[in-house]
Amino acid sequence: MKKWMIALLTLTLTVVLAACGASEDQTEGGEAENKKIVVGASNVPHAEILEEAKPLLAEKGFDMEIKTFNDYIVPNKALDSKELDANYFQHIPYLEAQMADNGYKFEVAGGIHIEPIGVYSKEHTTLDDLPKGAHIIMSSSVADHGRILTMLEKEGLITLKEGVDKVKATIDDIEENPKELKFDTEYEAALLPQIFNNGEGDAVLINSNYAIDAGLNPLKDSIAIEESDSPYVNVIAVREGDKDKPAIKALVEVLHSKEIQDFILEKYEGAVVPVKE
């Protein structure tokens, strides 16, 4: 074989091996696959918070694509099917219920904020004004029932059975109901603002993300609101084994930064409360 052909083959082989070596290094170091992250979120406040965080994440060398969802079911399906790298829309009890019901293998990368549930009414200005037999409309999401019932118990409207796990409490766990409140749990959470605007029920309990998205101010428009020390923290959820990936860790760090926590406080005026855990 001529010398020039041997030299050409040697050069070609060297380039190919170098390229393979670089590819392997990138995979092992996670550089190539972690430079972009796709995060699913509810429109408000989650996607708005992520948009604010996007340039700060870019400063850390990561690009973020935000996909918005209008329900509580699809974002976990999309995460499980690897259409998303993470999602940001749900609190821990709901996440745990979804994992138990669907076999999802997820984990929490970080808690970001709390969205207090509010009680809204077209007819009544306080919970004391609710008449006997009042029609109370709430989400069909069982993961929120214990949260709502605990709030109503604190307000003195009901009493739950002794020893019940209040996070998992259901309507059947009500021990005392002096006003004989009628609980209606047949509606998806996203529909509750429209139900309220239609004047249905004596009171409607609405998650703050849907209330804000519908133009309601949870602090001003509700007749009662969940306390800010609620354990229902909204989290960044990822597939098992992914929480320590560089892009995920950078995202959580940015969302815990003073810039983003100040943004949440100023933007939502207490209707969304940042946490750092």
- Alpha-helical runs (H) found in the chain: 3-29, 48-59, 74-80, 92-102, 142-154, 192-197, 208-213, 218-221, 246-255, 258-268
User: Over its length of 277 residues, how does the chain's per-residue pLDDT go in tens digits?
Assistant: 444 444 444 444 443 434 443 333 343 444 444 589 999 999 999 999 999 999 999 999 999 999 999 999 999 999 999 999 999 999 999 999 999 999 999 999 999 999 999 999 999 999 999 999 999 999 999 989 999 999 999 999 999 999 999 989 999 999 999 999 999 999 999 999 999 999 999 999 999 989 999 999 999 999 999 987 778 999 999 999 999 999 999 999 999 999 999 999 999 998 999 987 6
Q: What is the pLDDT of residue 143?
A: 87
Name the residue among 251, 244, 243, 241 with its Cα closest to residue 61: 251
Could you tell me which residues are beta bridge partners of residue 274?
A: 113
Q: What is the pLDDT of residue 27?
A: 39
Residue 3 neighbours by CB under 8 Å, 6+ apart: none
Residue keyed to tokens 């998806």 = 188
* Range 102-126 burial, b when 16+ CB lie within 10 A, else e: eebebbbbbbbbbbbbbbbbeebee
Distance from C-alpha of 270 to C-alpha of 272, rounded to nearest angstrom: 5
Burial of residue 22 (number of CB atoms within 10 Å: 0-12, 13-18, 19+):
exposed
Cis ω before 231 (30° cut-off from 0): no
Q: What is the pLDDT of residue 46?
A: 97
Name the residue among 126, 115, 119, 112 with its Cα closest to residue 271: 115
Q: Please state the pTM of the whole predicted model.
A: 0.80
- The SS3 call for residue 100 is helix
Contact 208/269 with Cβ under 8 angstroms? no
Name the residue among 188, 151, 150, 141 with its Cα closest to residue 169: 150
Identity at 243, one-letter amino acid code: K
Contact 185/235 with Cβ under 8 angstroms? no
Q: What is the pLDDT of residue 277?
A: 62
Domains of the chain: 36-114+232-274 (3.40.190.10), 118-225 (3.40.190.10)
